[in-house]
Amino acid sequence: MQEETVQVPFSDLGLPEPILRSLKQLGYETPSPIQAKSIPMILEGKNIIGQAQTGTGKTAAFALPILANIDLKQTSPQALVLAPTRELAIQVAEAFQVYARNLKNFHVLPIYGGADMRGQLRSLSRGAHVVVGTPGRLLDHLRRKSLKLDQLKTVVLDEADEMLRMGFIDDVDTILAETPDSRQTALFSATMPDRIKQIAKRHVGDPVHIKIAAKSTTVDTIDQSFLIVNQGDKLDALTRYLESQESDGIIIFVRTREATGVVAEKLSARGYSAAAINGDINQTQREKTISRLKKGTIDILVATDVAARGIDVERISHVINYDIPYDSEGYVHRIGRTGRAGRLGKALLFVQPRERRLLGIIEKDTKQKLQAWQKPTAQQLAEQRKTKLSEDIATKLENTVADVYHKMIAELCETLDQPAEQIAAALLSDKFSLEQVAPPPESKKPKRREREDRDDNRDGRSRDRDRGRDRDGGGDRGRERKSGRSEKDSIPFEQYRIEAGTVHGVQPKDIVGALANEAGLERDFIGRIQLNEDHCTVGLPPGMPKDLHQLLQKVRVKGQPMRISRVGKDNAADKNDDRKERKRPASRKPAGKSFKEGNKNAGKRGENKKPPVNPQDDNRGNR
């Protein structure tokens, strides 16, 4: 087992009191490794290049020092965060808002394509301390002069490799040219391909490189598995896991103090003997709780990393990573709490879809593949409960059941005038809820995300889709698509023509970028892209809403308005290109797959988005 790294507290990083207060209110105990290294550097005004994945706490790594340096009296933007997608822009802006809860009158403004331009113009004119935006829309505002960057102190390029992949790098260059030379720049990227290094060289002068050193270790006495699961579904997955396992002592790791209490409480309400420990609980109390775990008075300990440091309890049969650790070192420390004294231990890791990359890193650093855990269905669990009941009763019957119980049953039958079967059924209904023994059939057609998760868990490889788009630069994803697991195969795409082609320098990634950011379409809902000299065609799900169609007329790709039109409907163009697609037999059309399913903004768009009245005033969006 490795030496545990000494944790620096947030209070040692140089952050001001209102921000430390926000962190305390949020239940953050200690900085993550990327935070511990980046925060002091950014506070000092250094330029940094950080290699970090989603899930490592990179947002706070730049947001906290930026907030610390904000002059609340100055209302023109002081910090600009460039993000590849609207989802990320929104998440980052939300994070700023949360961390700034104790900074009075702080304003952060997310700016992204597809959102109402007039609203953004109004907000910009009111002033914002921090702007978080996608490149295309930011460029629009710069051209309109509605966004001024001359007072900017800090620029963050978040997920730079994604920006590159989505074809935004030229825009990033243009935007950065509008910012003061004196600005501080921080670039975060999960990977560091050569192009990113070149970009960093161009824009990030004299940088400090921050990378969390990978320490490779192997742990062989522990049976390790993972489950891709959304945050909101973790509790259900946890209870199913607990029920499906033969366990002794269990430690569940979460990230925040709040989460320790919440999870322990929910488990207690479900009949488990669980307790929480976190950094707020004093040492004596913590020790008492650990000793209860040792003695078996409680079976489950829900803990933060800080509070669980040094726990050495032999009876720990399972470690559950309810929240993913920040890095592989943290993972190895956590799971090392089980598999002690030569026993075999089990570890489960919950991974949110957007954290898949971190899973890959853990596997790489620990030089082993984690097995995908097959979450049992409610039906399987019900069967398991019945089997266990029958085994328990059989064991009981091996010894004589005291006469008094036989007598009680006989009396109940007589008093209630009911057969013994009825009495037994009534007793069982006290032990098990109807749901536990006869659950309603689980939906045959799972939600899209569940389907994905199941796929991912089947072969243990990720589709690596995050925040509505693919996240890797090829690799596994390319192989998977060929392997035929893509949902694309089941979508009866309609062909659309876009008036931009190779002469305009368009590449497929530009089309994907524009559609993802402007139409909010997920990559799996974008069909084959056929590039031609002056135009291209793309398959999109059927039933594109009218307002979106209008909007997409004007979205620009490589400077060209898309002027999107349905092939064979809006115009007769390009019949040859799409013959193959249009010839698909009707029988291939699956039920229920529509444009709406692939459009993360379906519905929302209809409510609040009207097509621009004046084409000159429209949003050109991202390219």
Give the nearest distance from C-beta 464 to ligand AMP in angstroms.
15
Residue among 33 and 545 whose Cβ is closer to ligand AMP: 33
Residues making up the chain, counted from first to last = 623
Give the integer Cα–Cα distance in Å for 58 and 519.
27
Q: Which residues pair with 346 in a beta bridge?
A: 223, 318
Sign of CA dihedral 33, 351, 192, 156: negative
Q: Site for ligand AMP (CB under 6 A): which residue of 22, 32, 38, 599? A: 32
Q: Which stretch binds ligand AMP (CB under 6 A): 27-35, 156-164, 211-219, 478-486?
A: 27-35
Nearer to ligand AMP, 101 or 294 (CB): 101
- Chain centroid offset of residue 545 CA: 28
Supply the minimum distance, in Å, between the C-beta of residue 115 and ligand AMP: 22
DSSP secondary-structure letter at 302? E
x/- letters, 51..80, toward ligand AMP (CB under 6 A): ---xxxxxxx--------------------
User: Among 266, 256, 257, which residue's Cα sits nearest to residue 234?
Assistant: 266
Nearest distance, CB of residue 1 and ligand AMP, angstroms:
23
| Minimum CB distance to ligand AMP, residue 64 (Å) | 9
* Segment near ligand AMP (CB under 6 A); pick from 28-36, 40-48, 116-124, 360-368: 28-36
The answer to whether 31 contacts ligand AMP (rule: CB under 6 A) is yes
**Strand, helix or coil for residue 72:** coil
Q: Give whichever of 87 and 577 is closer to ligand AMP, judged by the CB atom.
A: 87
Closest contact distance (angstroms) between CB of 86 and ligand AMP is 16
**Cα separation, 337 vs 345, whole angstroms:** 9
- Taking residues 203 to 242 in sequence order and writing x for each that binds ligand AMP by CB under 6 A, - otherwise, the string is ----------------------------------------
- Count of residues interacting with ligand AMP (CB under 6 A): 13
Shortest distance in whole angstroms from residue 38 CB to ligand AMP: 11
Within residues 241-280, the interface with ligand AMP by CB under 6 A covers 255-256
- 39's enclosing H/E stretch is helix 33-43
Tell me the Cα Rg of the chain. Answer: 28
Nearer to ligand AMP, 38 or 56 (CB): 56
Site string for ligand AMP, 87-126 (x = CB under 6 A): ----------------------------------------
Phi first, then psi, for residue 58 (nearest 5°) are -70, -30
Contact segment (CB under 6 A) with ligand AMP among 14-22, 25-33, 114-122, 486-494 equals: 25-33
Q: Which stretch binds ligand AMP (CB under 6 A): 49-57, 117-125, 457-465, 507-515?
A: 49-57
For 559-566, which contacts have Cβ atoms below 8 Å and span 24 or more sequence positions?
559/504, 559/623, 560/499, 560/500, 560/504, 560/506, 561/499, 561/620, 562/498, 562/499, 562/500, 562/514, 563/498, 563/499, 564/496, 564/497, 564/498, 564/499, 565/496, 565/497, 566/494, 566/495, 566/496, 566/497
Nearer to ligand AMP, 76 or 97 (CB): 97
> Identity (one letter) of the amino acid at 600?
K
Nearer to ligand AMP, 245 or 256 (CB): 256
Contacts made by residues 261-264, CB under 8 angstroms, sequence distance 24+: 261/302, 263/235, 263/238, 263/302, 263/322, 264/300, 264/302
By C-beta, is 303 or 538 nearer to ligand AMP? 303
Q: Which amino acid is at 494?
A: E
**CB neighbours of residue 15 within 10 Å:** 22
Give contact residues for ligand AMP (rule: CB under 6 A): 28, 31-32, 35, 54-60, 255-256
